[in-house]
Amino acid sequence: MLVTIDDDAGIPDQNLTINWQYSRDGLAILGTSGQQQIMLDTRQGMSTTFSGNVDLDTNPDLQVGDVILFWVEAHDHAGKGVTGLGSISDPLAVEVLVREFNLKVASITIGHADGRPFTGNQALTGNEIAFTVTLRNSGNLAGMVNVTLSELRGDGSWIEHQSIEVALPEAGTRTLDPLLFEAYRAGEQSLFINITGEIDKFTSLASTPGCAMIGEMVQCSLSEEVDMPSVISAESLEQGSSTLIILTITIALSLILVLGVLFYRRSTEDDPYADEGVWEDQTSHVVENMYEAKQAPAIPASAIQPMDAPSPTHFDSATTSVEVNDAIEVAPTEPSETSAELTHPQDAESATESALETLESPSGELASESVDEELATNTGGVEEQELSEIVESKPDEEPLDWGAEW
């Protein structure tokens, strides 16, 4: 530091006391003041020059915008104190220019040597793992750093696999060449990126959570990176592939077996509509049986004869019986005396009883046969009155009971 004081009376031969104080936003920063003496250098006329080195490092946390205040303490030969700019009443304010190398690890990308990411975030023993580091200097001072890929052994010793020296300009960013590591064992890899050099300040970023300032070195734990692969042995991968193939084949065979059983059972089941035709046949059969069961019984031919079998001539004007639907219908013919006699209800009833008695005896059977033949050849008929009494009436059909058993 160089200080010049002008005084008409002259400055005595003595050292000059320098005082300073740091301030921020117009307020003094506590604990940042200092004092130091410098030596008399030269005299020229009324001017006296003092010079010397002053250590102003009393503010460990300098920030952009901080101000340092200077003032001196001196007396002339008359004992008067120093006045004007730089005196205690008017300190000299100097803005502090903070120059520093502020390092940031912007990103660490992990993948194959050719840049491809690892499938399933897994690597095999023997694979090369590439670590691509991007550094940034956010300060206003250029710096030089050394980036090393290191492995921490179980006994606490370090193995340095590869190292790169890189210069970072002010507010500059550099992406380094990949640092390669060949995985030689399965499990977690104790790998670190160690950065050393002219580092004034380190700023951690969320993109690289494993990086921190340890002493004068920045250290990044690669196991905390999200894309750090887990290393497995090739033998275990082959065994796992074989197990997966066997499991896949087993599942496929099981599915084929289940589908085959389901198809077989479905093919052997009866068609729910196969008995539809049989059902219709049974229905029609039941209808016919019910209809036939409700038919009126046929009237025997002998029931319409008088008690004494008439001569064949009596049937000339008799009726002709026609069997229709298991019943006897009598076609009307011209009335005769014989038919007129049969129309009386009492005579018809007695004739029916006599005919039944005759049919029960052997001789009655012959008589019945002869009567049937005569009735078959006779073209006569009875009167319309008798026809209306013996004509069969078709019964009304009753609703079918489908729940009945047949």
The pTM (predicted TM-score) of the whole model is: 0.48
Q: How far apart are CA 211 and CA 204, in angstroms?
A: 7
Pick the CATH number of 102-232 from 1.10.630.10, 2.60.40.10, 3.40.720.10, 3.40.50.410: 2.60.40.10
Residue type, 258: V
Q: How far apart are the first and last CA of the chain?
A: 132
Q: Is 38 helix (H, G, I), strand (E, B) or coil?
A: strand
- Residue ranges of the chain with per-residue pLDDT less than 50: 293, 309-353, 355-394, 404-406
Q: What's the pLDDT at 342?
A: 37
Task: State both tokens at 209.
Answer: 């959570």
13/36 Cα distance (integer angstroms)? 17
DSSP assignment of 157-174, as one string? -EEEEEEEEEEE-TT-EE
CA distances from 234 to 84, 126, 133, 230 (A): 82, 9, 28, 13
Q: From CA 110, how far away is CA 130, in angstroms rounded?
A: 6
CATH architecture of 2-95: Sandwich (2.60)
153 close to 186: Cβ distance less than 8 angstroms: no
- pLDDT in the model for residue 131: 96
Q: Identify whether the C-beta of residue 67 lies closer than 8 Å to the C-beta of residue 30.
A: no
CA nearest neighbour of 75 among 10, 134, 168: 10
pLDDT for 257: 84
Cα-based distances in Å from 375 to 109, 369, 372: 123, 10, 5
For residue range 86-118, what is the model confidence (pLDDT) as tens digits? 888 899 999 888 888 999 999 999 999 998 999
Closest listed residue to residue 151, CA positions, set 223, 79, 85, 103: 223
The torsion angles phi and psi of 56, rounded to 5 degrees, stand at: -95, 15
Question: Which residues contact residue 7 at a Cβ distance below 8 angstroms, ignoring those fewer than 6 apart?
Answer: 46, 48, 76
Task: Decide if 41 contacts 50 (C-beta within 8 A).
Answer: yes
Q: Where in the chain is the domain with CATH 2.60.40.10?
A: 102-232
